[in-house]
Structure 1
């Protein structure tokens, strides 16, 4: 199995592309979904966030006030680092678990949907290919303001909190241009899926890592034999 990274700028349409990829039957490991699950009421990350940021970021229902928390961390780099320190270890632990399950299921490849793929730079060395979803700057700002009801100033702050989109595109193996119609985007995704399905990388990985695992088992067996019968 091999892993493909999917990322993009905020409001460029990454979730739309991720959904299209899933429609083709490709397994998705969704870091955004994992991030929401680990901060559910009463969980370990929820407790740490409440301790770090106070009751002001907790609603009467006990759930985190995401808008309030977002306004804090996007306007304060130190607070952003604090919440990343709380959440990232659990996010990446769950990512590893899900990827391993897909490996055991015999999948050819899995797509890791990770908004801060390049910013965190924690998994890029494990990826076979990276895909960046891009769109025009003005369209990105317009989409974000419309989607989240942000003022222009708030939207710009959130865009600038991420790595510049042009930098991500320059680092990507594949760029999906999502400024046009959904049909145009879908055609791009279809071409990418065909390209990835034609790859033999999964065979190479299974031979290499399977051989390594077998070698370790043989060494362990020989060591155990030597300890028992020397």
Structure 2
């Protein structure tokens, strides 16, 4: 069984992912897979460098994800180009990792994928879990986490599919409008329910 975990910027998806790991759940992080595929010398790194040039590299020649993020968040065409480059390769790698877990006899694997719906990966999972928070909470969390202005956080949020829309695809919705303790309780109960139902 593959569970697709998704949310939006500042919704708390990464926190849910950490809680699941603490519960012993195997979680494949699509962001980490993407990082690995974007390392210097990899084909994706080369394609991004060819497209954007030196300004998006660090002094050591790795991708400066923050600079790249600023460029694509403010330009729909650039963001679309980047997504079309990355999504197929990440999708293939997620499939390979899921097959490895399955071969080792693991009954449930979670794919932590920010763009699960937008990238079409929701079609390849058995359940979709969406982490939900109010838009104002998302903006506040992004401001605190990334030390950016309200306007910058709002711009990032508006570049994504709204969570209210994402929950239309959800098998289960994880409500993260309360405290960390409440979130931990909700995720633990959800995991016990899934494990008990297998």
TM-score of the superposed pair, with normalisation by structure 1: 0.83
- Whether the aligned pair in 2 keeps the contact of 1:57 and 1:66 (CA below 8 Å) is yes
Work out whether 1:51 is the aligned partner of 2:11.
no
Runs of at least 5 residues in structure 2 that lack an aligned partner in the other structure = none
The 5 Å alignment of 1:136-155 reads 136-155=134-153
Q: What count of residue pairs does the alignment treat as equivalent?
A: 198
- Whether the aligned pair in 2 keeps the contact of 1:29 and 1:112 (CA below 8 Å) is yes
| 1:38 to partner: Cα distance | 0.8
Aligned to 1:35: 34
Of 167, 183, 188, which aligns to 1:190? 188
- Whether the aligned pair in 1 keeps the contact of 2:87 and 2:119 (CA below 8 Å) is no
- Whether the aligned pair in 2 keeps the contact of 1:3 and 1:129 (CA below 8 Å) is yes
Deviations 1:78-137 (A, max 9, x none): 10111112222221111011000011011111111000011111x222222111111122
| 1:185 to partner: Cα distance | 0.5
Higher helix share: 1
Q: Whose radius of gyration is greater, 1 or 2?
A: 1
Aligned to 2:164: 166
TM-score of the superposed pair, with normalisation by structure 2: 0.96
| 1:76 to partner: Cα distance | 0.7
| 1:171 to partner: Cα distance | 2.2
Rounded to whole Å, the distance in 1 between the matches of 2:155 and 2:9 is: 11
| 1:28 to partner: Cα distance | 0.6
| 1:34 to partner: Cα distance | 0.6
The 5 Å alignment of 1:1-230 reads 2-121=1-120, 123-200=121-198
- Whether the aligned pair in 2 keeps the contact of 1:38 and 1:46 (CA below 8 Å) is yes
Rounded to whole Å, the distance in 1 between the matches of 2:185 and 2:77 is: 41
Moved beyond 2 Å, runs of 4+: none
